[in-house]
């Protein structure tokens, strides 16, 4: 009986182990920062360590303010892009009533949706990186703070890049010129 129970336990653990998504979600701040230290091959000199120990609390306080503002900034943008999607749909409906082909609006709406998804995913990554760097104990692990800072800057840069690209996509003159052509003809 005991052998059977052990076998069942082994099978169950195999099934659970086969869920990579769950395994990824079990990541902790500690493990993420530890991995970042390894990835960046981060080694602090004595001076750098002392500098971080002295100034880290101030830096973390400033990062908390940035973190508090981030949710608002992201929501503001998501709201704007969603509004634009709706306006494009409205334009499409008005054009359709006139018998004009407005399929370009669907294309742009789709691109905005894709951009919104990318922004949401990157914003989540960025917020997680901010959480990590704010939550780390600098006195005990200054390397982790430094590595977390580097990760957070990368995520922030990726978010900025995606937002910039999305704005450029929305302001694509060619697409609106095509719409105008359809209305003139």
Spatial contact of 132 and 37, defined as CB atoms under 8 Å apart: no
64 lies in the binding site for another protein (CB under 8 A) = no
CA atoms within 13 A on the CB side of 73: 15
Piece of the chain touching another protein by CB under 8 A; list 27-35, 39-47, 86-94: 86-94
Stretch 140-179 residues interacting with another protein (CB under 8 A) = 149, 152-153, 156-157, 159-160, 163-164, 167, 170-171, 173, 176, 179
Spatial contact of 101 and 180, defined as CB atoms under 8 Å apart: no
The site string for another protein over 24-63 (x = CB under 8 A, - otherwise) reads -x-------------------------xx--xx-xx--xx
Q: How far is the CB of 30 from another protein (least distance, A)?
A: 20
Task: Identify which of residues 117 and 137 has a Cβ nearer to another protein in the complex.
Answer: 117
Choosing from 6, 117, 139, 140, the residue that interacts with another protein (CB under 8 A) is: 117
Q: How far is the CB of 62 from another protein (least distance, A)?
A: 5
How many whole angstroms separate alpha carbon 57 and alpha carbon 135?
Answer: 11
Phi, psi of 138 (to 5 degrees): -65, -40
Q: Which residues bind another protein (CB under 8 A)?
A: 1, 4-5, 8, 12, 15-16, 19, 21-22, 25, 51-52, 55-56, 58-59, 62-63, 66, 73, 76-77, 80, 82, 84-87, 89-91, 93-95, 97-98, 109, 113, 117, 149, 152-153, 156-157, 159-160, 163-164, 167, 170-171, 173, 176, 179-180, 183-184
């Amino acid at each position: 009986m005991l052998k059977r129970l052990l076998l069942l336990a082994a099978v169950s653990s195999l099934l659970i182990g086969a869920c990579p998504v769950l395994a990824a979600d079990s990541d902790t701040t500690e493990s993420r920062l530890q991995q970042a230290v390894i990835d960046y091959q981060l080694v602090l000199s004595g001076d750098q360590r002392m500098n971080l120990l002295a100034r880290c609390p101030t830096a973390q306080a400033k990062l908390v303010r940035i973190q508090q503002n981030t949710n608002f900034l992201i929501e503001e943008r998501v709201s704007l892009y969603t509004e634009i999607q709706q306006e494009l749909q409205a334009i499409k409906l008005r054009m359709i009533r006139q018998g004009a082909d407005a399929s370009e609006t669907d294309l742009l709406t789709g691109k905005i949706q894709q951009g919104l998804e990318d922004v949401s995913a990157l914003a989540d990554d960025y917020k997680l990186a901010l959480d990590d760097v704010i939550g780390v104990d600098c006195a005990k692990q200054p390397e982790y703070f430094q590595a977390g800072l580097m990760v957070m800057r990368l995520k922030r840069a990726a978010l900025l890049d995606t937002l910039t690209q999305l704005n450029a996509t929305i302001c694509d003159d060619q697409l609106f010129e095509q719409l105008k052509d359809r209305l003139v003809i």
